[in-house]
Amino acid sequence: MAVKKRSDLSSTYKFKTWRDITPMNTSAGTMLYNKTGSWRTIKPVFEDKTPACQNACPAGNDIEGWIKLLQQGEYEKAYWHLKREEPFPSILGRVCFRFCEEACNRIPLDDCVSISALERFIGDRGTSSVPHPDLPEYNGKSMAVVGSGPAGMSAAYFCRLLGFKVAIFEKLHVMGGILRVGIPEYRLPREIIAAEFEGLAAMGIELRPGTAIGKDISLEELTGRYDYIFLATGAHGSRKLNMDGEDESRRIMSGLEMLKKVALGEEVEFGRKVAVIGGGNTAIDVARTALRMGSSVTVIYRRSENEMPANPEEVREAREEGVEFRFLAAPERFELNDDGSIRRLVCCEMELGLADESGRKRPVKKDGALFDVETDSILTAIGEVSVLDYLKGIAGTEKDVVAVDDTLMVNTGGNGKIFAGGDIIDIPRTVVNAVASGKKAAIAIDCDYRGADFGDVLKEISIGNGSALSFSRYMNWNPETPQNIHLVVDSEKMVYDYFDKAPRVMQKTGDAETRKNSFNAYRETFTEDDAQQEASRCMHCGRCIECDNCLIFCPDMSVLPKGDGHFGYEFDYDYCKGCGICFTECPRHAITMVSEEEGDK
Amino acid sequence: MRQLLKGNYAVAEGARLCRVKVVSAYPITPQTTIVERLSEMCASGELDAKFIKVESEHSAMATLVGASSAGVRAFTATSSNGLLLMHEVLHWVAGARLPIVMTNVNRAVSGGWNIWADQTDSISQRDTGWLQIYCESSQEVLDSVIMAYRLAEKILMPVMLTYDAFFLSHTTEVVDVPDIELVDAFLPPYRPEYKIDIDNPRMFGGLISPDHFYEHRYTVHRASLEALEYYPEVCREFRDIFGREYDITEEYRTDDAEVIVVTAGTITSVVRITVDRMREAGSKVGLMKLRMFRPVPVDRWRNILGNVAKVVVIDRNLSPGLGGVFANEVQSALYPLENRPSIYPVVAGLGGRDVTPADIEGIINHALSSDDPAGVPLFWGLKQ
Amino acid sequence: MERTTQRMIEIPRDVMTGEELWQPGGLSCQGCGASLALKLALKGLGRRTVVVMPACCMAVIVGPYPYSASQVPVLHVPFETAAAGASGVRAALDIRGEEDVVVMAWAGDGGTFDIGLQALSGAAERNDDILYVCYDNEAYMNTGIQRSGATPAGAWTTTTPGEAVKEEPKKDIEKIMLSHGIPYMATASVAYPADIYTKFKKIRSIKGTKFIHILSPCPPGWQIDSADSIKVSRMATQSKVFPIYEVENGKYTINVYPEKEVTVKEYMKTQGRFRYITDDAINAAQKWTDRRWEELTGMVDGGIPA
């Protein structure tokens, strides 16, 4: 503190004889000599903690951090801050599962913050072609990424930030993996994806489209040429219905296959009355794509709407656009004509029985409840599988995932340093999980290169109580304020008495009539006004914003602003009695009470 | 200027002449006409002061704690039960060393409701630390108010002036009311060193621990004793300006006395007349007027009373279970002397019972004729 | 600071970090509402203030001779004489030409509701130009938690021990003061600091007797965790047990409308001092609270906002 310590200003009155007694029983000094801090058994400390949103994000996106910068009008700073943990805001801001919004502490008050929309705002404003401010010199080691989907993009990005020379190999002639060929244009325009790859290239990452592993180049060659390999070939195969005739008709196709052909501009043949089998996001993507291609579509799902894994917003929009849904129904058999066209699709009604391992009720056939569905085209979307033929003889695969250890390294019996991530390892199949795995692999690779113990590192950089890792902490890009990223602030810890309700701002969305006739994106990025208004709803959980509550409520005047342009406050431990009022009245739990001994460390 | 004034009005004149700034008082017989007169003076502007018309005597003295601590000259008047109601605050004022001057009309204290002359009220406050001066005439009361402020503001102790109910408060005498300019010359404005001051913020009256309290009380005691040195100076200066002389005590015809009567209040005047009468008849009697009661003028009393054979102390007060208090204190003061007079304690005149010259003569003769009384009080005039 | 939907406490930063008239080092318990109340009051009043203090917790908190935690003058007075002492200081300061200096009597509930009521009534009747603040911790806390006229019905104290809780309801000091016709009467609570600041700033321009009744939580006396001091006080207002309002020359204004529903039972359950209260008594307390709130809102001109 620049100001002279208050206890230095005190004095005690020297008293020896009755002659020293002040006349008229008046005071002759202050009480500052009395350091009431000695009464404490617990003391407060300022510690920024992990908000529930960041804790829920598999990538550990420091949402509060960039929202704060957004509010200050520092859009570019917000962009680079965001990219320290989650490199592709324009993409995730459009297609993310949004674990953060589900966990947002604002929900008990009114509604979550539109985090994803704000991320998109920042992403769209950001200029990925501008040189990355944190770009280091090369460290002399190289890394090859196999697969240009989100996992590969992420691993490449973070490895480059760690100084590795990176090349991304992609089988197709276009980069982006599932983003480019699995997610329809109206959800994620291809210009957005292209811009991100421009950014990666601008960082010095080599892009190798049209190069398939096992065909154009072998895995052995790669391990010979590069110090580290990251496999991220994704899950582009489809689960089969395993019904007779499935492979015998041009009109029975996997939904993913259909989406890829559409995305690549290839010819794809399907009918006017499409039946989509499945209930996940792929099924919806397929249905809405078919609709836009001019067909009428019915989605057939074996459970009820409540159990659908698809995003409810997508289901709603699909319905608005005219997609029909038939729940509690599953295909029973196909009847094909000689030319392969579909004569009949027979389905069976289902009912919900006991729950399975996922917690959802198992669908059970209703005896004899068969019915026909009029269709000339069947698209299956009952689950993705990864195709791992190229790993035959090199590593073990069980079902459709490759086994990795805690550092995401593949056991190859000593054949090079191969890591894996994204949909080919056993993690939830979302874009953000893939991005997180890329980050984790990059850190594991760097630990291997430096000879550091990954387990020790994990302890330092684990965010909250989930699986997310903080790249910033790994790089020691730490803020001035003290941090305790292991503590999570959930809604129980927030003091809602200090917050006013405010309606949630949503992005402008086109109406169904306009939407269904084109592949153009139909949702607009926030305007600056909307972004600022929505960002003001962020409660900054776990992070001090200098609201002054502690300063105002301290009965012992022991909270003082740091001053001199420094952010935040400090406690005057000479006098703080450890009452805990600051802790209780901090609206966002930015203060921690620690035992007196612990605090001294 | 010489006027015909009742005792209470003389007090009011005294307060006016001292330019008191805050008066806070509650009416009680026989003090009421002081309060009324001061209200008139404030209303007419004759006295430039704030008169806070409080709702009890306890608040009256408490209000002056505030006013005096804030550095202005403060005054009040009361009597008997009102004085007792202030009791807690009297201790506080003395401990706080506030130079407040109060006139107390000596009136009997209830249980047993009596509104007439009796000194038990002020006597029962003798441990509060207030200086006490007992007055005999209206002139003396007026003059004593003026001298009291000089004394109080010098040694920083409160001063109580007492005089008898009705005998003085409501009877008219010729009183010389001095010019205010003369009083201004004698009594400068009150400029305390320590007071409530925004520019020099202090706390007054905080909790005193056992480490300091003993010494604090000692300073209060010493301040009280300072009066014994300083008050005679004040009296001399007063004489020089106003021509009337007062002292800690007054001796009247004591030089060759065989009996000295010690008393205070209006009984003193009666004794004075009786002494003259008895002297004419050949008795060697004298009078010591007990004026300053607190601090106890031990040395003075010893000088005056030490060499006489018999001392009669007349108490217009009674401490049940003890007797008259003046007698007790005089005995106590004389005890260390090698040659001690015989003390004849007499209680008389309680509750306004008249004490006549005949009574005094009877009392003196009783002392002259009897031997060692063994300190047992004589209840003169008690209906038996 | 960035714009948020947080209900900011509107006391300017430079006021909070400005002159420290109430200093640390005082002897208050952890979480003391009285210490916080005085801190906030002095922020509103400024340095041209004199505090007159009778026997109460604050008289000890402010420190022993010869020290003082206050940077404005403080005068200790006998227990029952806060208002009288203040009247005397007021008279003297006016004579000295310092009419702008606020004279504030700062007394506890004991020195106001009970033993000090006479002097307070006298000063109010005379409409002496003083500010009288009663910081109310609802018992004689300084002497060790004995019951006072301000103790609410159902509360444990050392003189209403065990199940023999206090039966009589809290004395309505606000109505008592209003019956004197004083120009300003207000309640306040340490859970609403900006309101305290505003009221004490406003005081300077009002002549006559002003009375402010501040709810001041006492962790040992109310048997709550010191960290919950403010939260419990907030619930007192949210449950309408302690409404925050002001009456200026007869005009009523409610300053805080509770943002959410809190029952009297929920409020009482936070405090150990109510652990002996029966359900019947809680229901009675709820009815009493509801009735008083209805009465209060009925006094507001033009009704209460929707």
Together in a domain, B217 and B359: no
For an interface test with C, give the residue of B22, B47, B48, B59 to mutate (most C CBs within 10 A): B59
φ, ψ at C4 (rounded to 5°): -135, 175
Together in a domain, A431 and A462: no
Domain termination residue (choose one: B182, B217, B242): B242
Full residue range of the structural domain in which residue A187 is found:
142-236+386-450
* Residues of A whose CB is below 8 A from B155: none
Answer yes or no: are the C-beta atoms of A473 and A461 closer than 8 Å: yes
Of C9, C30, C260, the CB nearest to A578: C30
DSSP string, A536-596: TT---TTS-----HHHHH-TTS-EEEEETTEEEEEE-TTT-----HHHHH-TT--EEEEEH
Q: pLDDT value at position A1?
A: 42
d(C-alpha A501, C-alpha A108), whole Å: 10
Give bridge partners of residue C132 from the DSSP assignment: C105, C211
Q: Which two tokens stand for residue C129?
A: 């130009």
Together in a domain, B190 and B64: yes
Together in a domain, A595 and A468: yes
Of residues C187 and A131, more confidently modeled? C187
Q: What's the helix, strand, coil split of chain C in %, to 5?
A: 40, 15, 45
Together in a domain, A348 and A418: no
Residue A272's contacts (CB-CB under 8 Å, 6 or more residues apart) are A294, A295, A296, A376, A377
Of A15, A25, A557, the CB nearest to C23: A557
Q: What is the CATH number of the domain that holds B359?
A: 3.40.50.920
Together in a domain, A470 and A440: no
For an interface test with A, give the residue of C5, C22, C198, C232 to mutate (most A CBs within 10 A): C5
Q: pLDDT value at position B140?
A: 98
Answer yes or no: are the C-beta atoms of A539 and C4 closer than 8 Å: yes
Taking an 8 Å cut-off on Cβ atoms, the answer to whether B215 and A24 are in contact is no
Together in a domain, B225 and B268: no
Q: Does any domain span residue A354?
A: yes
Together in a domain, A547 and A466: yes
Taking an 8 Å cut-off on Cβ atoms, the answer to whether A536 and C3 are in contact is yes
Q: Distance (Å) from the C-alpha of residue B52 to the closest C-alpha of chain A?
A: 24
Together in a domain, B292 and B364: yes
Instruction: Classify B355 as helix, strand or coil.
Output: coil
Residue B252's contacts (CB-CB under 8 Å, 6 or more residues apart) are B272, B275, B286, B287, B288, B289
* Residues of C whose CB is below 8 A from A557: 20, 22-24, 39
Instruction: Classify B346 as helix, strand or coil.
Output: strand
Give bridge partners of residue A418 from the DSSP assignment: A229
Answer yes or no: are the C-beta atoms of A156 and A163 closer than 8 Å: no
Taking an 8 Å cut-off on Cβ atoms, the answer to whether C77 and B92 are in contact is yes
Q: Which two tokens stand for residue B278?
A: 């008895």
Residue B369's contacts (CB-CB under 8 Å, 6 or more residues apart) are none
Together in a domain, B164 and B271: no
Q: A215-237 pLDDT, tens per residue?
A: 899 888 998 999 999 999 999 99
Q: What is the average pLDDT across A51-64? A: 97
Note whether C72 contacts B: Cβ–Cβ < 8 A: yes
Together in a domain, A460 and A601: yes
Answer yes or no: are the C-beta atoms of A581 and C227 closer than 8 Å: yes
Mean pLDDT of chain A: 92
Q: C35-92 pLDDT, tens per residue?
A: 999 999 999 999 999 999 999 999 999 999 999 999 999 999 999 999 999 999 999 9
Taking an 8 Å cut-off on Cβ atoms, the answer to whether B62 and C52 are in contact is no
* Residues of C whose CB is below 8 A from A36: 24-27
Q: What is the average pLDDT across B119-146? A: 97
d(C-alpha A583, C-alpha A594), whole Å: 11
Q: Which two tokens stand for residue A176?
A: 């982006």
Q: Distance (Å) from the C-alpha of residue A502 to the closest C-alpha of chain C?
A: 7
Q: Distance (Å) from the C-alpha of residue B237 to the closest C-alpha of chain C?
A: 29
Answer yes or no: are the C-beta atoms of A43 and A573 closer than 8 Å: yes
Residue B27 burial (CB count, 10 A): 17
Q: Which two tokens stand for residue B149?
A: 């402020």
Give bridge partners of residue A409 from the DSSP assignment: A419
Give which of C8, C110, C74 is closest to B205, Cα–Cα.
C74
Q: What is the average pLDDT across A281-298? A: 95
Q: Does residue C278 surpass a pLDDT of 50?
A: yes
Give bridge partners of residue A2 from the DSSP assignment: none
d(C-alpha A170, C-alpha A186), whole Å: 23
Strand pairing class (B203-204; C74-76): parallel
Q: Is the dihedral of CA A270, A274, A278, A280 positive or negative?
A: positive
Q: pLDDT value at position A4?
A: 58
Answer yes or no: are the C-beta atoms of B120 and B318 closer than 8 Å: yes
Which secondary structure element, helix H or strand E, spans residue A208, and what is its range? Answer: strand A206-208
Q: Does any domain span residue A341?
A: yes
d(C-alpha C183, C-alpha C124), whole Å: 10
Q: What is the average pLDDT across B108-131? A: 96
Give which of B289, B283, B286 is closest to B267, Cα–Cα.
B289
Of A68, A552, A577, the CB nearest to C16: A552
Number of CB pairs, chain A paired with chain B, less than 8 A apart: 42
Q: Does residue A549 surpass a pLDDT of 90?
A: yes
Q: Is A25 exposed, middle or buried (0-12, 13-18, 19+ CB in 10 A)?
A: buried
DSSP string, A141-203: -EEEEE--SHHHHHHHHHHHHTT-EEEEE-SSSSS-THHHHTS-TTTS-HHHHHHHHHHHHHT
Residues 58-97 of A with CB under 8 A from C: 68, 71-72
Q: pLDDT value at position C303?
A: 59
Q: What is the average pLDDT across A476-499? A: 92
Note whether B228 contacts A: Cβ–Cβ < 8 A: no
Together in a domain, A199 and A274: no
Note whether C68 contacts A: Cβ–Cβ < 8 A: yes
Together in a domain, A376 and A478: no
Q: Does residue A416 surpass a pLDDT of 70?
A: no
Q: Does any domain span residue B384?
A: no
Q: If pLDDT is split at 50, 70 and 90, which confidence band does C167 have?
A: confident
Q: Which of A5-19, B236-250, B260-274 has the lowest mean pLDDT?
A: A5-19
Q: What is the average pLDDT across B197-209? A: 94
Of C77, C118, C125, the CB nearest to B65: C77
Taking an 8 Å cut-off on Cβ atoms, the answer to whether C25 and A554 are in contact is no
Q: pLDDT value at position A219?
A: 87
Strand pairing class (C49-53; C74-76): parallel
Q: Does residue C143 surpass a pLDDT of 70?
A: yes
High-pLDDT (> 70) share of chain A, %: 98
Taking an 8 Å cut-off on Cβ atoms, the answer to whether A23 and B204 are in contact is no
Taking an 8 Å cut-off on Cβ atoms, the answer to whether A22 and C67 are in contact is no
Q: Does residue B288 surpass a pLDDT of 70?
A: yes
Q: What is the CATH number of the domain that holds B163?
A: 3.40.50.970
Q: Does residue A247 surpass a pLDDT of 90?
A: no
Taking an 8 Å cut-off on Cβ atoms, the answer to whether C89 and B70 are in contact is yes
Question: In terms of CA atoms, which chain B residue is nearest residue A31?
Answer: B203
Answer yes or no: are the C-beta atoms of C211 and C182 closer than 8 Å: yes
d(C-alpha A115, C-alpha A98), whole Å: 8
Domain termination residue (choose one: B191, B215, B242): B242
Together in a domain, B38 and B157: yes
Q: pLDDT value at position C305?
A: 65
φ, ψ at A548 (rounded to 5°): 80, 0
Full residue range of the structural domain in which residue B43 is found:
2-242
Note whether B215 contacts A: Cβ–Cβ < 8 A: yes
Q: What is the average pLDDT across A445-463? A: 94
d(C-alpha A174, C-alpha A193), whole Å: 10
* Residues of C whose CB is below 8 A from B72: 91-92, 95-96
Taking an 8 Å cut-off on Cβ atoms, the answer to whether C122 and B54 are in contact is yes
Q: What is the CATH number of the domain that holds A407?
A: 3.50.50.60
User: pTM here?
Assistant: 0.92
| Maximum C-alpha span of chain A | 123
Together in a domain, B32 and B175: yes
Domains and CATH numbers, chain C: 18-298 (3.40.50.970)
Q: Distance (Å) from the C-alpha of residue A34 to the closest C-alpha of chain B?
A: 15
Note whether C229 contacts A: Cβ–Cβ < 8 A: yes
Together in a domain, B234 and B337: no
Q: pLDDT value at position A601?
A: 55
* Residues of B whose CB is below 8 A from C45: none
* Residues of C whose CB is below 8 A from A543: none
Ramachandran class of C40: left when φ > 0, alpha when ψ lies in -120 to 50, beta otherwise:
alpha
Which secondary structure element, helix H or strand E, spans residue C210, and what is its range? Answer: strand C210-215
Together in a domain, A258 and A376: yes
Question: CA angle, A491 as apex, A488 and A496 as ends, to 5°?
Answer: 130
Together in a domain, A217 and A300: no
Q: Distance (Å) from the C-alpha of residue B221 to the closest C-alpha of chain A?
A: 11
Taking an 8 Å cut-off on Cβ atoms, the answer to whether C16 and A6 are in contact is no
Q: If pLDDT is split at 50, 70 and 90, which confidence band does A273 have?
A: very high
Give which of C137, C68, C74, C126 is closest to C104, Cα–Cα.
C74
Of C2, C30, C228, the CB nearest to A584: C228
Together in a domain, B224 and B305: no
Domain termination residue (choose one: B242, B276, B307): B242
* Residues of B whose CB is below 8 A from A23: 97, 156, 193-194, 219
Q: pLDDT value at position C306?
A: 56
Radius of gyration over every alpha carbon of chain A, rounded to an integer in angstroms: 29
d(C-alpha C54, C-alpha C61), whole Å: 12
Together in a domain, B256 and B206: no
Answer yes or no: are the C-beta atoms of C189 and C258 closer than 8 Å: no
d(C-alpha A200, C-alpha A83), whole Å: 12
* Residues of B whose CB is below 8 A from A28: 202
- DSSP letter at B163? E
How many distinct structural domains can be found in chain B?
Answer: 2
Together in a domain, A391 and A380: no
Together in a domain, B310 and B362: yes
Q: Does any domain span residue A110?
A: no
Q: What's the helix, strand, coil split of chain A in %, to 5?
A: 35, 20, 45
Question: In terms of CA atoms, which chain A residue is nearest residue C35?
Answer: A555
Q: Does any domain span residue B212?
A: yes
Note whether C101 contacts B: Cβ–Cβ < 8 A: yes
Q: Does any domain span residue A126?
A: no
Render the burial of A151-176: b for 16+ CB within 10 Å, e for the rest: bbbbbbbbbbbbebbbbbbbbbebbb
Number of CB pairs, chain B paired with chain C, less than 8 A apart: 169
d(C-alpha C103, C-alpha C52), whole Å: 7
Which secondary structure element, helix H or strand E, spans residue C287, and what is its range? Answer: helix C279-298
Domain termination residue (choose one: A361, A384, A407): A384
How many distinct structural domains can be found in chain A?
Answer: 3
Together in a domain, B226 and B318: no
Q: Distance (Å) from the C-alpha of residue C227 to the closest C-alpha of chain B?
A: 29
d(C-alpha B78, C-alpha B82), whole Å: 6
